[in-house]
């Protein structure tokens, strides 16, 4: 490895270290999420394997990792949906499997019913877990011959999911519960900066006269790309609001009393109106060039027709 490559590598490591020292940096949030997920998985495995000696202990740590969500509110909401989805999938297997037996036709019925239930809007993003749980339950069911043992194994799956979900939510709530109130500020600032940069590029060109077609096309493209930035800014504002809900931090409780995000909403809408006006200007300038080019093409066609006559 050359000295330049080695130096660049250590520079990246140093930059990552500097990011970790910033409380709201993405690197720090990612590292904290990884550590919390690992802790939740370990605690769930301890309970399911060491204490319960469960047949399928992996259900608990898998569930725990899924529940370490971005915000406390999402952890609680998604855990309820996840447990409901798994319980529904296991119930489908229990009803059909115990009544019809572990054959191919039964599996087809289980798959059909589970996939229909998975489309229930109440389950949201966790809907797919209905079919997943049903398939795992069917596999567990076919490995046990006694009906009582089959019911115990199916019940244990739901219990393990409950334990894993509870551990995941508990870790997320008790250990540095995430706050994302700054995401609203960052999103608005990024949108404002993009508008500023676009206007800063347009002002001198327009002061010197009508810009050329390539320039106006570039302005129009930049204005059109702000739709993505607007969506990201609104998502950041939504996440900021959500991160304060159910958050046990004393600071968060004070923050809920002092922040309503109304000022952020007004600023966001003002910026959206501004970029809409700027985008309309860029479209008009670009359309003017297109109309001129179209007129020129039509004039050339008429001249060609006259020459042919």
The predicted pLDDT at position 152 comes to: 86
Q: Report the number of distinct structural domains present in the chain.
A: 2
Residues 202 and 164 in one domain: no
Whether 133 and 210 map to the same domain: the answer is no
pLDDT, tens digit (0-9, with 9 covering 90-100), for 63-73:
999 888 778 88
Q: Is the pLDDT of residue 243 over 90?
A: no
Residues 212 and 94 in one domain: no
Whole-number Å distance between alpha carbons of 138 and 246: 37
At 83-99, the pLDDT tens digits run: 999 999 999 998 998 88
Average pLDDT over residues 276-292: 81
120 and 73 in a common domain: yes
Q: Tokens 């119930």 correspond to what residue? A: 91
pLDDT above 70: residue 308: no
Whether 186 and 166 share a structural domain: no
Q: At what angle do helices 26-45 and 3-21 cross, to 10 degrees?
A: 80
pLDDT of 108 reads 93
Whether 165 and 215 map to the same domain: the answer is no
Do 18 and 156 reside in the same domain of the chain? yes
Q: What pLDDT, on the 0 to 100 scale, is given for residue 233?
A: 83
**How much of the chain exceeds pLDDT 90, in percent?**
27
More confident residue, 81 or 26: 81
**Which tokens go with 85?**
């989805």
Band of the pLDDT at 259, cuts 50, 70, 90? low
Chosen domain end from 150, 174, 198: 174
Alpha-carbon dihedral 152, 157, 161, 167, rounded to 10 degrees:
60
Structural domain of residue 76, as residue ranges? 3-174
Per-residue CA distances from 290 to 205, 233, 281, 284 (Å): 19, 33, 14, 10
Specify the higher pLDDT residue, 203 or 146.
203
The whole-chain average pLDDT of the chain stands at: 81
pLDDT at 132 over 80: yes
Give the Cα separation of 243 and 71 in Å (integer).
Answer: 5
Q: Which one of 174, 199, 224 terminates a domain?
A: 174
Query: Do 145 and 200 fall into the same domain?
Result: no
Question: What pLDDT does residue 306 have?
Answer: 63
Domain-terminating residue out of 143, 158, 174: 174
Residue 58 has phi, psi (to 5 degrees) of -65, -20
Nearest to 113 by CA among 139, 140, 95, 136: 95
Considering the domain architecture, whether residues 18 and 162 belong to the same structural domain is answered as yes
What pLDDT is attached to residue 181?
65
Query: What is the predicted pLDDT for the residue at 8?
Result: 60
- 146 and 292 share one domain: no
Could you tell me which residue, 153 or 23, shows the higher pLDDT?
153
pLDDT of residue 21: 58
In this structure, are 34 and 106 located in the same domain? yes
Is 76 in contact with 169 (CB distance < 8 Å)? yes
Verify that 129 and 246 share a domain, yes or no: no
């Amino acid at each position: 490895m050359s000295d330049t490559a080695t130096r660049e590598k250590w520079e990246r490591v140093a930059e990552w270290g500097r990011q970790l020292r910033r409380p709201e940096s993405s690197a720090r949030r990612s590292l904290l999420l990884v550590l919390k997920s690992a802790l939740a998985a370990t605690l769930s495995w301890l309970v399911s394997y060491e204490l319960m000696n469960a047949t399928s202990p992996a259900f608990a740590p898998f569930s725990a990792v899924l529940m370490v969500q971005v915000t406390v509110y999402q952890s609680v909401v998604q855990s309820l949906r996840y447990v409901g989805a798994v319980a529904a999938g296991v119930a489908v297997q229990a009803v059909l499997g115990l009544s019809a037996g572990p054959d191919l036709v039964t599996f087809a019925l289980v798959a059909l019913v589970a996939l229909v239930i998975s489309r229930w809007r109440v389950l949201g993003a966790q809907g797919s877990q209905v079919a997943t749980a049903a398939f795992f339950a069917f596999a567990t069911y076919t490995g046990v011959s006694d009906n009582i043992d089959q019911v115990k194994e199916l019940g244990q799956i739901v219990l393990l999911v409950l334990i894993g979900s509870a551990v995941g939510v508990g870790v997320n709530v008790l250990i540095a519960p995430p706050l994302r109130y700054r995401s609203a500020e960052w999103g608005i600032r990024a949108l404002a900066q993009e508008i500023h940069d676009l206007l800063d590029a347009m002002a001198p060109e327009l002061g010197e006269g009508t810009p050329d077609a390539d320039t106006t096309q570039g302005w129009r493209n930049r204005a059109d790309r702000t739709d993505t930035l607007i969506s990201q800014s609104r998502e950041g504002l939504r996440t900021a609001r959500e991160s304060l809900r159910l958050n046990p931090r004393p600071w968060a409780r004070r923050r809920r009393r002092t922040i309503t995000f109304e000022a952020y909403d007004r600023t966001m809408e003002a910026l959206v109106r501004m970029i809409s006006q700027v985008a309309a200007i860029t479209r008009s300038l670009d359309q003017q060039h297109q109309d001129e080019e179209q007129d020129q093409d039509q004039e050339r066609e008429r001249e060609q027709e006259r020459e042919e006559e």
